[in-house]
Amino acid sequence: MLNGLIFWIKLELFKKGGKMAEVFEDSYSAEALANMENYIISFGTLIKDVGSSEGFKNALFGMKVMVEKKPRRIADLSKIYAGKAPRTLELLVFSREHIPLIVAEIKAHEFKNVRADVQQQLVTVTVPKPTLDDLTAMEDQIATMSRSAISSLTKIRGNTSQRLKAALENEFIDGVTMHNSRNKVDAVYDKYVKLVKLHSLKKRKTILGSYFEPKNEEERMLLPELNKLKPLPEPKE
- State pTM to two decimals: 0.72
* pLDDT (0 to 100) of residue 87: 82
Could you tell me which residues come within 8 angstroms of residue 3 by beta carbon, excluding any fewer than 6 positions away?
A: 170
Quote the mean pLDDT of the chain. 85
Tell whether 236 is covered by a domain: no
Render pLDDT for 186-223 as a digit per residue (tens, 0 to 9): 999 999 999 999 999 999 999 998 889 999 999 999 99
**Residue type for 31, please?**
E
Q: Please, where are the H alpha helices in 50-131? A: 53-61, 74-77, 99-107
Q: Which domain holds residue 41?
A: 19-50+131-228
Distance set, CA 192 to CA 23, 25, 65, 189 (Å): 25, 20, 44, 5
Q: What's the CA gap between 131 and 110, in Å, rounded?
A: 13
Q: 110 and 63 in one domain?
A: yes
SS3 158: helix
Q: 146 and 90 in one domain?
A: no
Q: Lowest mean pLDDT: which of 50-59, 72-81, 157-166? A: 50-59
Q: 34 and 135 in one domain?
A: yes
Q: What's the CA gap between 49 and 35, in Å, rounded?
A: 22
Residue 122, pLDDT above cutoff 80: yes
Q: How confident is the model at residue 237 (pLDDT cuts 50, 70, 90)?
A: low
Domain count, the chain: 2
Last residue of a domain, one of 94, 109, 126: 126
